[in-house]
Amino acid sequence: MHSLFLFNKNILRIMPKVFVYLMIILAFVAVSCKSGGQGKDAGLEIPDSVLNAGVEISEEVMQDIVQNISSPVEMAAMIKDLGVPYSNKYISTTDRVGNLTTSFQQALNLGFYAADLGYLNMYNKTSAVVDYLTAIKTLSDAIKVGQFFDFTTLKRLATNSKNLDSLMYISVHSFNQMDKYLHSNNRTNLSALMVTGVWIEGLYLGTQVYKATPNKDLADRIGEQKLTLEQLMLILEKYRQDKQYIKLLDELQLLKELFKSVEIFVEKGEPQMIEVDGMLSIVQGDKSIIKISPEVLNNIINTTEQVRNRLISF
């Protein structure tokens, strides 16, 4: 009893000091981080760390699976390399942002807009870029990763077409930083949604372009998304305890069923290393061959469109 009394007395004596130090640290961190706290807090929100509590897979394994599962620019880069002209029909509109109130919707749509931004940047459509930057800024602030999105610099770069490389680099790097931050803060559920959004929008872009201008390379690229979808669903399965994730998984399952008919073979070969003018190049020996029938491809195109449009209005 006596020792308890002394303990309490000591605590009371040091409490003001501890409080002062704590406040200084918090103030400093808050100022330095420029944390995006402008998002809507719609009622009682379950912290992401609590949502993640039921996850059986370790964060290390998650990190192992997730890296580069879908890039916000890779599909767009391929489409541009194919010489396909730009069309604004393939991207989602930004007028929905105000209606996205849950962190689930915000993270998923952040992925959609990141992929759209990649497509716009790729075709140097800087006049439209600002709307997408604003949408991404709003959503990233809402899920508290806005500190990684340098909106002011990006907006400045977007107004000058000469800065395309910097615009592209900062856009993709910001997306990667957000993803890394969510991982390191035990919010992999939101990271998984962002990646899903990027992937769906990329697949939608690829399938819509194929519909307009069929191309063997693009058909292969669509077919091989079977592998990406498998990885993605593996990650999302971990959050099945949440109703919204179940709905999302049900949508992706529709695509998975169709992708079952896509066959992927591998021809074995030895890699070759070539050095030309001091530059090292490696040509892979193994080669994958994708077999996808026109019927299956057509079904994938149609289902992707339906799934993507439903997810947008989730």
Partner 1 sequence: MKKFIIIFAILTFVASVFTQAQDVSQLTAQCAANAGDVMYLKDFVVKLDQGTPGGAPPTARFALLLSKSVVYRFSICSAPNSDGEAVLQLFDMNTLLGSTFISATGKDFPFFDFKCQKTGVYHVFISFKEGKAGEGVGIMSYVKKL
The minimum distance between CB 209 and partner 1, in angstroms, equals: 13
The minimum distance between CB 43 and partner 1, in angstroms, equals: 33
In the chain, the amino acid numbered 28 is F
> Which of 59, 250 has the CB closer to partner 1?
59
Please list, in sequence order, all residues whose beta carbon lies within 8 angstroms of the beta carbon of residue 214, skipping any fewer than 6 positions away. none
Half-sphere exposure of residue 308: CA atoms within 13 angstroms, side-chain side: 26
> Which of 228, 244 has the CB closer to partner 1?
228
In the chain, the amino acid numbered 309 is N
> Which of 106, 207 has the CB closer to partner 1?
207
Q: Considering only CA atoms, which of 256, 248, 309, 238 is closest in space to residue 102?
A: 248
The minimum distance between CB 98 and partner 1, in angstroms, equals: 31
Q: Considering only CA atoms, which of 122, 119, 116, 70 is closest in space to residue 94?
A: 116
Whether 192 and 143 have beta carbons less than 8 Å apart is answered as no
CA torsion 71-76-82-85 (nearest 10°) is 180
> Which residues make up the interface to partner 1 (CB under 8 A)?
17, 20-21, 24-25, 28-29, 32, 64-65, 67-71, 73-74, 77-78, 81-82, 168-169, 172-173, 176, 217, 220-221, 224, 227-228, 231, 264, 266, 271, 273, 278-288, 290
> Which of 1, 31 has the CB closer to partner 1?
31
> Which of 59, 286 has the CB closer to partner 1?
286
In the chain, the amino acid numbered 209 is V
> Which of 51, 78 has the CB closer to partner 1?
78
The minimum distance between CB 58 and partner 1, in angstroms, equals: 14
- Taking CA atoms, 181 is separated from 108, 145, 175, 176, 206, in Å, by 16, 8, 10, 9, 29
> Which of 101, 170 has the CB closer to partner 1?
170
Whether 201 and 112 have beta carbons less than 8 Å apart is answered as yes
Burial of 38 (0-12, 13-18, 19+ CB in 10 A): exposed
The minimum distance between CB 174 and partner 1, in angstroms, equals: 11
Matching residue, tokens 């993640």: 52
The minimum distance between CB 83 and partner 1, in angstroms, equals: 10
- What is the distance between the alpha carbons of residues 178 and 165, in angstroms, rounded to a whole number? 20
Whether 286 and 259 have beta carbons less than 8 Å apart is answered as no
